[in-house]
Structure 1
Amino acid sequence: MRSSVPHILHVAQPVEGGVARVVTDLVAAQLAAGMRVTVACPQGGMPAEALRGPACTVLRWDATRSPGRRLPGEVRALARLVREVRPDLVHAHSAKAGLAARLAVHGRLPTVFQPHAWSFEAVDGVMAHLTRGWERFGARWATRVLCVSEAERRTGERCGIAAEWRVVPNGVDTHRFRPEGDRASSGAGPLVVCVGRLCRQKGQDVLLAAWPEVVRRVAGARLVLVGDGPDAARLRSGAPASVEFAGATADAAPWYRAADVVVLPSRWEGMALAPLEAMACGRPVVVTDVAGARESLPPGHSPSCLVPPEDPGALARALTALLRDEPLRTALGAQGRAHVLVAHDLRHTTDAVADVYRELLGIAVTPAAPDEGRKCITT
């Protein structure tokens, strides 16, 4: 077994939203465990801002969010960084970084690819066919494909991707995301909060289509959309006065705690962080019945919390029912908090990723905070 300190290179694109938070949390835990860590990502965004300092090297890797004409240059630039950094293992996050990293490394180093939701779920027609074909071909250059839910792995297998799979559910910091005393009434109407990038995947357009029915049935109901993204201007256009656009925030915890209900009407997911963070804060959630979102709920959770995607009527009925039933909201919040503590604590996730590194490197990779109850689902 090698005795040297492992050197991990994380390659990240995008640099905002859930992927950035996952990278930031992993890197922080790995630095605490004594690993050497380098992050390659575009300038700006959460990873570079949160991790810059003497303990972590953040290298600028200029890459767009989607493949395009710049891809060959992005791959060459990343290959140069890999040669200069000389990591022991490369961990690539999301479809774009996974594409570039696997082309740059080409199987010469242990490579972990973490899709954070499959790229082919975001497109249709010819593009979906092409992206599925790439993922089937590119799997040969991923030593492990790390999925955040069993459903994400099953989707990959169903699309013909032959890989060495590991499933490590997303985790959240249950100290940062926690209830804080009794919720005091603001005197305003009941509050629904949606946290997520303003884009087609997250389905805020469906939520806005459902919202007039909620307001008609629940007097004074208010909706806050927390986040920014490419659909911001379109979503703001024509939104009623009962809807507030709060923009992006570095800390969504106060919004979760203020909410009566947290909703995420996604069209697809790997496993979103927002419902986990909301449940960790003791808040009830409503999510769409898509793969990763479904898997994030506690076993036996109320069916009213799970609605079909792209169905404004069902979403309005679910939100209305919860807003009218305070005892149910309280019970669901407590159940969600208990579930996250057991199954989605961040320490479980970081320990499980360390286990994957240990397996690939043959190195003793010590977790930052050992936990005898840690849980890693593998297949």
Structure 2
Amino acid sequence: MQPQRRRPGAGFTALHLVQPVDGGVARVVLDLVEAQLEADVRVAVACPGEGPLAAAAARLGAEVHGWRATRDPGPGLVREVGQAARVVRRVRPDLVHAHSAKAGLAGRLAVRGRVPTVFQPHAWSFEAVGGVTGRLAGHWERWAVRWTDRVVCVSDAERRTGERAGIHASWSVVHNGVDVGRFGSADGPSGSADMADTTAARAALPPLAALPPGTPVVLCVGRLCRQKGQDILLRAWRQILLQLPRARLVLVGDGPDADALRAAAPPSVVFAGAVPDTAPWYRAADLVVLPSRWEGMAVAPLEAMASGRTVVLSDVDGARESLPPGHEALCLVPPEDPPALAAAIGALLRDAPLREAIGRQGHQHVLSTYDVRQTARAIADVYREVASVPRPERREPIPQ
């Protein structure tokens, strides 16, 4: 007779195994942690100690366990798997939720089906690399579903990408969400961008405080890395300056490509670095751009739209789903196409009434579709379904 599994709520323990400690993945994890703690779930987070995630999760009230893991697979994998297994034995979770490729790799090797396991890729690893490494990543994902009770994708497009790669999993699609109160409150109930509010937001941010009134400001929020495509944006930016020489581009975030991007950037580009709160930066911007090479569904555009700002996105997984219907022609461009990106940005910067109308529509779209509370409820439903399935009596042991 199988033991009864505990359901999410009081007495249920969820362990989040996470490698990225900043950016959108960290934001998604923290939103889930907060919602689960409010539902009386015992929440543990295992992640690297550097970066904001560990401290923020501890402030919310989660148990935090150090997990020294790098983003890429390598010789440290055996140690990372062993550490993950020790955390699992210490926490004794009812469910393990592994976020991103590295956590999905190490976590599933550590648990090997002994504990209900949810894997959330947050964009597929095999999209990030080519050649032999990409083929190995795809092979692993196809093989690892044997130890995966549910794969959670943040967009239908991300799920379809997995299916095209031959991954035959039990799927759930749970869109990312944002705290619409936090990002949508400053500009009033409509979420529209008001000149006085924008000016006040800029005055409170030292890198923008001295800008003359009416200066066009384009914002890109994301880790400074190849995935997010800031190098593509810099190539487009030189074309934009030919049309709008007073414009300013602000890059919020840090990452491995920071030095190379600084070396390639003209003086009109502001590097703000990593910031504790992105909301004021959205309010200070006229337009928000994310020229990613690949995504699952990026969080930054949702935050921007919640703030009433129009977005321009590369047409990668999740981008179309994040936009209101009918915005694709104006707000989507082909990936890795600087001229198309420059044309879209320039057209929207020159047409303030159109930009503001799109911003209002985007705000209402996010309020109705991408509220983080809906995301938390959907994940709770996934946990409930996964935890209620009887476990096979014979499972591989968790490594010592």
Match of 1:311 among 320, 328, 337: 337
Look up the equivalent residue of 2:195 and give its one-letter code.
R
Could you tell me which runs of 5 or more consecutive residues in structure 2 were left unpaired when the two chains were aligned.
188-193, 200-211, 390-400
Look up the match of 1:73. 79
Find the counterpart in structure 1 of residue 95 from structure 2.
89
Check whether the contact 1:183–1:258 (CA below 8 A) recurs between aligned residues.
no
In the alignment, which residue of structure 2 is the partner of 1:255?
281
Question: Which residue in the other structure is 1:172 paired with?
Answer: 178
- Quick check: 2:34–2:60 contact (8 Å CA) kept in 1? no
Instruction: Quote the Cα distance in structure 1 between the aligned partners of 2:324 and 2:264.
Output: 36
Match status 1:104 vs 2:110: yes
1:55 Cα deviation after fit: 3.1
Give the corresponding residue for 1:370. none
Alignment pair present for 1:286 and 2:298: no
- Distance in structure 2 (CA, Å) of the matches to 1:54 and 1:113: 23
Where 2:182 maps in the other structure, the secondary structure is coil
Q: Distance in 1 between matches of 2:335 and 2:388?
A: 43
Aligned Cα root-mean-square deviation (Å): 1.4
| Residue 355 (str. 1) matches residue 381 (str. 2) | yes
Higher relative contact order at CA 8 Å, sep ≥6: structure 1 or structure 2?
A: 2
> Unaligned 5+ residue runs, structure 1?
364-379
Other structure's SS at 2:270 match: strand
Query: Does the C-alpha gap of structure 1 residues 276 and 47 become closer, same or farther in structure 2, counting only changes over 3 Å?
Result: same
- TM-superposed CA distance for 1:291, in Å, is 1.6
Q: CA deviation at 1:144?
A: 0.2
Shift of 1:43: 0.8
Do residues 183 (structure 1) and 209 (structure 2) align? Answer: no
Aligned pair in 2 of structure 1 residues 302, 62: CA closer, same or farther (>3 Å)?
closer
**Which whole-Å CA distance do the structure 2 matches of 1:183 and 1:266 have between them?**
29
Flag the 1:79–1:301 CA change in 2: closer, same or farther, 3 A: same
1:260-279 map, 5 Å: 260-279=286-305
Preserved CA contact (<8 Å) 2:117 2:148: yes
Q: 2:146 aligns with which of 136, 140, 146?
A: 140
- CA–CA distance in structure 2, aligned partners of residues 44 and 178 of structure 1: 30
Figure out how many residues of one structure are paired with residues of the other and give that number. Answer: 363
**Match of 1:127?**
133
Deviates more, 1:286-295 or 1:272-281: 286-295
User: Shift of residue 262 of structure 1?
Assistant: 0.3
Contact 1:11 1:101 in 2 (8 A): yes
Assess, with a 3 A threshold, how the Cα gap between structure 1 residues 174 and 125 changes in structure 2: closer, same or farther: same
Quick one: distance in 2 between partners of 1:216 and 1:35? Answer: 55
Bigger Cα displacement from structure 2, 161-170 vs 171-180? 171-180
**8 Å Cα contact 2:180/2:306 also seen in 1:** yes
Runs of 4+ in 1 over 6 A off after TM superposition: none
- One-letter amino acid of the structure 2 residue matched with residue 197 of structure 1: R
More deviation in 75-84 or 202-211?
A: 75-84
Q: 2:53, 2:32 → 1: CA distance?
A: 11
Structure 1 CA distance, aligned partners of 2:181 and 2:33? 18
Question: Which residue of structure 2 lines up, in the alignment, with residue 243 of structure 1?
Answer: 269
- Supply the AA of the counterpart residue of 1:355: D
Call closer, same or farther: CA 1:319–1:209 in 2, change over 3 Å: same
TM-score, normalised to structure 2's length? 0.88
